């Protein structure tokens, strides 16, 4: 593990070096957990939002497959009906 110096700027802004952002695939608006370890030590752990990334991936796959939102909603309705029929005997 190597040490990196960063500077606390106005309004509490910290800038992570681009090398670390690329290495760990960090993007703007990712969420971090800051753990106070005591004695002035902190642990900054990225908790990148998987929701945003997964949403982007779903959009990519939909575009690749030529599926639009209406198609997806229709398929979800069909799956919901199938589920209820199989589990409760009615739509």
Q: List all residues 6 or more positions away from 90 whose beta carbon is below 8 Å from its beta carbon.
A: 84
If one counts every other C-beta atom within 10 angstroms of the C-beta of residue 64, the result is 8
- Please state, in angstroms and rounded to a whole number, the distance separating the CA atoms of residues 49 and 55: 10
For residue 17, what pLDDT is reported? 92
For residue 48, what pLDDT is reported? 63
Residues in the chain with pLDDT values less than 70: 1, 48-49, 90-91
The domains of the chain are located at: 10-47, 50-88
- Please state, in angstroms and rounded to a whole number, the distance separating the CA atoms of residues 20 and 4: 10
For residue 39, what pLDDT is reported? 92
33 SS3 class = strand
For residue 38, what pLDDT is reported? 93
For residue 2, what pLDDT is reported? 78
pTM of the model: 0.47
For residue 50, what pLDDT is reported? 75
| Dihedral angle of Cα 64, 67, 69, 72, to the nearest 10 degrees | -120
- Please state, in angstroms and rounded to a whole number, the distance separating the CA atoms of residues 5 and 79: 52
């Amino acid at each position: 593990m190597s040490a990196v110096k960063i500077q606390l700027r106005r309004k509490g802004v910290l800038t992570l070096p681009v090398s670390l952002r690329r290495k760990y695939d960090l993007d703007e608006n990712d969420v971090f957990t800051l753990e106070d370890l005591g004695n002035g030590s902190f642990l900054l752990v990225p908790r990148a939002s998987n929701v945003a990334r997964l949403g982007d991936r779903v959009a990519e796959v939909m575009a690749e497959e030529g599926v639009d939102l209406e198609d997806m909603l229709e398929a979800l309705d069909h799956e919901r009906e199938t589920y209820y029929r199989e589990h409760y005997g009615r739509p």
